[in-house]
Amino acid sequence: GEDVEQSLFLSVREGDSSVINCTYTDSSSTYLYWYKQEPGAGLQLLTYIFSNMDMKQDQRLTVLLNKKDKHLSLRIADTQTGDSAIYFCAGRLFVFGPGTRLSVLP
Protein backbone atom coordinates (compact mmCIF):
# COMPACT_ATOMS: atom_id res chain seq x y z
CA GLY A 1 0.00 0.00 0.00
CA GLU A 2 0.89 3.65 -0.14
CA ASP A 3 3.35 5.11 2.33
CA VAL A 4 3.57 8.80 3.19
CA GLU A 5 6.49 10.14 5.19
CA GLN A 6 7.08 13.47 6.90
CA SER A 7 9.61 14.88 9.29
CA LEU A 8 8.02 14.98 12.73
CA PHE A 9 9.09 18.38 14.07
CA LEU A 10 9.88 21.87 12.77
CA SER A 11 10.63 24.98 14.79
CA VAL A 12 10.82 28.48 13.30
CA ARG A 13 10.86 32.09 14.47
CA GLU A 14 7.81 34.28 13.99
CA GLY A 15 8.06 36.12 10.67
CA ASP A 16 10.33 33.51 9.06
CA SER A 17 9.23 31.09 6.35
CA SER A 18 8.40 27.49 7.21
CA VAL A 19 8.90 24.60 4.82
CA ILE A 20 7.24 21.28 5.60
CA ASN A 21 8.24 18.32 3.46
CA CYS A 22 6.49 15.10 2.53
CA THR A 23 7.40 12.08 0.39
CA TYR A 24 4.93 9.55 -0.95
CA THR A 25 5.10 6.28 -2.81
CA ASP A 26 1.85 6.13 -4.81
CA SER A 27 2.13 8.15 -8.00
CA SER A 28 -1.50 7.55 -8.98
CA SER A 29 -2.90 10.25 -6.71
CA THR A 30 -4.97 12.74 -8.68
CA TYR A 31 -4.68 15.33 -5.94
CA LEU A 32 -2.30 15.79 -3.03
CA TYR A 33 -3.44 17.60 0.07
CA TRP A 34 -2.22 19.53 3.07
CA TYR A 35 -4.26 19.56 6.26
CA LYS A 36 -3.74 21.45 9.52
CA GLN A 37 -4.74 20.14 12.94
CA GLU A 38 -4.79 22.31 16.03
CA PRO A 39 -4.80 20.71 19.51
CA GLY A 40 -7.97 18.78 20.23
CA ALA A 41 -9.52 19.62 16.87
CA GLY A 42 -10.32 17.92 13.61
CA LEU A 43 -8.37 18.37 10.39
CA GLN A 44 -8.72 21.57 8.41
CA LEU A 45 -8.11 21.40 4.66
CA LEU A 46 -5.43 24.00 3.92
CA THR A 47 -4.76 23.53 0.26
CA TYR A 48 -4.39 20.90 -2.43
CA ILE A 49 -2.56 20.53 -5.70
CA PHE A 50 -3.57 18.66 -8.82
CA SER A 51 -1.00 16.04 -9.74
CA ASN A 52 -0.22 17.62 -13.13
CA MET A 53 0.83 20.91 -11.50
CA ASP A 54 4.27 21.80 -10.19
CA MET A 55 3.32 24.69 -7.97
CA LYS A 56 0.29 26.30 -6.43
CA GLN A 57 0.20 29.54 -4.46
CA ASP A 58 -2.62 30.49 -2.12
CA GLN A 59 -1.96 33.67 -0.12
CA ARG A 60 0.83 32.79 2.36
CA LEU A 61 0.89 29.14 1.29
CA THR A 62 2.97 27.74 -1.58
CA VAL A 63 2.80 24.07 -2.52
CA LEU A 64 5.57 22.54 -4.61
CA LEU A 65 5.23 19.12 -6.23
CA ASN A 66 8.14 17.15 -7.65
CA LYS A 67 6.52 14.16 -9.31
CA LYS A 68 9.80 12.59 -10.34
CA ASP A 69 11.01 12.40 -6.74
CA LYS A 70 7.49 12.00 -5.30
CA HIS A 71 8.13 14.94 -3.04
CA LEU A 72 5.60 17.49 -1.85
CA SER A 73 6.33 20.59 0.20
CA LEU A 74 4.31 23.30 1.90
CA ARG A 75 5.87 26.71 2.40
CA ILE A 76 4.26 29.13 4.83
CA ALA A 77 5.46 32.70 4.37
CA ASP A 78 5.65 35.12 7.32
CA THR A 79 4.88 32.36 9.83
CA GLN A 80 2.76 33.49 12.77
CA THR A 81 2.19 31.97 16.21
CA GLY A 82 -1.30 31.02 15.04
CA ASP A 83 0.33 28.70 12.50
CA SER A 84 1.57 26.46 15.33
CA ALA A 85 -0.14 23.13 14.69
CA ILE A 86 0.38 19.68 13.20
CA TYR A 87 0.46 19.57 9.40
CA PHE A 88 -0.47 16.43 7.48
CA CYS A 89 0.08 15.66 3.85
CA ALA A 90 -2.20 13.11 2.20
CA GLY A 91 -2.58 11.36 -1.11
CA ARG A 92 -5.37 9.27 -2.60
CA LEU A 93 -7.64 10.70 0.13
CA PHE A 94 -7.16 7.78 2.48
CA VAL A 95 -3.49 7.74 3.39
CA PHE A 96 -2.02 10.38 5.69
CA GLY A 97 1.52 11.01 6.77
CA PRO A 98 2.41 11.00 10.49
CA GLY A 99 2.23 14.78 10.67
CA THR A 100 4.80 17.53 11.20
CA ARG A 101 4.47 19.50 14.42
CA LEU A 102 5.27 23.13 13.65
CA SER A 103 6.30 25.30 16.59
CA VAL A 104 6.52 29.04 16.02
CA LEU A 105 8.71 30.87 18.48
CA PRO A 106 8.02 34.56 19.24
Nearest CA-CA partner of 20 in 103, 106, 80: 103
Nearest CA-CA partner of 20 in 64, 60, 69, 53: 64
Alpha-carbon span 67 to 9, nearest angstrom: 24
With respect to other proteins, which residue has the nearer C-beta, 39 or 82?
Answer: 39
User: By rule CB under 8 A, what string of x and - marks binding of each residue 20-49 to other proteins?
Assistant: ----------xx-x-x----xxxxxx--x-
Q: Rule CB under 8 A: say whether 94 interacts with other proteins.
A: yes
Q: What residue ranges bind other proteins (CB under 8 A)?
A: 4, 30-31, 33, 35, 40-45, 48, 50, 88, 93-99
